[in-house]
Amino acid sequence: MGISVHKLKAYGPSALKLSDRPVERLRSPTFVLTCGTTFFNYLSYQLLLPVIPLYLLHIGGADWQVGLVLGVTAFTALLARPFVGYVADQVGRRPLLVGGPICYIGTALLHIVARSVPALLAVRVVSGVGISANSTGSPTYASDVAPASRRGEAIGIIGSAMNLAIAFGPLIGIWLLAEYGYNTVFLVAALAGLVALLIALPLPEIVKPASKTDGPAPRLIDRFLSGDMLLPMAIGLCSAATWGAILSYLPILAEKESLGNVGFFFMPYAATILLVRVVGGRASDRYGRRAVLLPGMVAVAAAWP
């Protein structure tokens, strides 16, 4: 299938860099639905993020166990990523889009009956699996449905959907806690997960699973320890380490010092990311990934003196 002369004129020389498919617009119905399910998935998670440290203390946990409970979520997500990536390549992207919100719904409801620290740890393990499925499935699916020349922009917009949830989720979660209590927060988080699931169900599978004719699939250990992935993993680990410590103890600090709704802390952070992601996505498509990554690393380093 060729590209017409009229389309080449309309899209410019960059159209020649695509495969034999015509250039497509980015904001297709499928892409919009992907953004929608991503937003509600992250909203379900972010509603609980500032509430979990307070809930841990509410059920008799100690301050030092806050880092343990939130850390086990991140550690589970880390361990699950190679397996989730394997599923995405060998089975398809759609199981991740559907499985992520199912995990969020389940964990939100299980928090209601998790009345001990060991039970809460078990619930957060399941939440880590959901985070891994959602954070892998949504950007991957978005890049599949986006035109090749606009994939950076597509991932930036998906990231903006995530950051909208960061902007409003903690704020709403703390407000619900103050007005109605813990169980209401958990039920609203489950409802957000249900909305994400309902949006994801109509999404078709875009990429055919790998077949035996494509050759043997890489071993899981090779996926996890790939030389090409070690540097990006190290960058992500270093940039997220201090942020994780702040997220763990900020809600407790805010309550002890009577600082008000800690959700307001997240709003300027998320608003800045919203602005940068779309611009940065387009810039990465035009100038390359390094041109965006390096200034971002400098900004992260400057923010934590």
Q: How do the pLDDT tens digits run along the chain, 305 residues long?
A: 444 444 434 434 443 343 344 445 677 888 889 999 999 999 999 999 889 989 998 998 888 888 788 888 888 888 888 888 888 888 888 999 999 999 999 999 999 999 999 999 999 999 989 988 988 888 888 888 877 777 777 887 888 888 888 888 888 998 999 899 999 999 999 999 999 999 999 998 877 665 544 555 555 555 555 666 666 666 666 666 666 666 666 676 667 767 677 666 767 777 777 677 667 666 666 766 667 777 766 776 666 55
Angle (CA) 281-131-64 rounded to 5° is 115
Contacts of 131 (CB under 8 A, 6+ apart): 45, 73, 77, 100
Looking at the structure of the chain, the number of domains it has is 1
In this structure, is residue 210 part of a structural domain?
no
In this structure, is residue 17 part of a structural domain?
no
In this structure, is residue 168 part of a structural domain?
yes
Q: Comparing C-alpha atoms, which of 186, 166, 193, 168 is closest to residue 37? A: 193
Domain assignment of residue 81, given as a range? 25-205+218-303
In this structure, is residue 95 part of a structural domain?
yes
CATH number reported for the structural domain that contains residue 61 in this entry = 1.20.1250.20
* pLDDT for 7: 40
In this structure, is residue 194 part of a structural domain?
yes
In this structure, is residue 19 part of a structural domain?
no
State the distance between the two ends of the chain, measured CA to CA, in whole angstroms.
Answer: 55
In this structure, is residue 297 part of a structural domain?
yes
In this structure, is residue 73 part of a structural domain?
yes
* pLDDT for 76: 87
CA–CA dist 180, 51 (Å, integer): 13
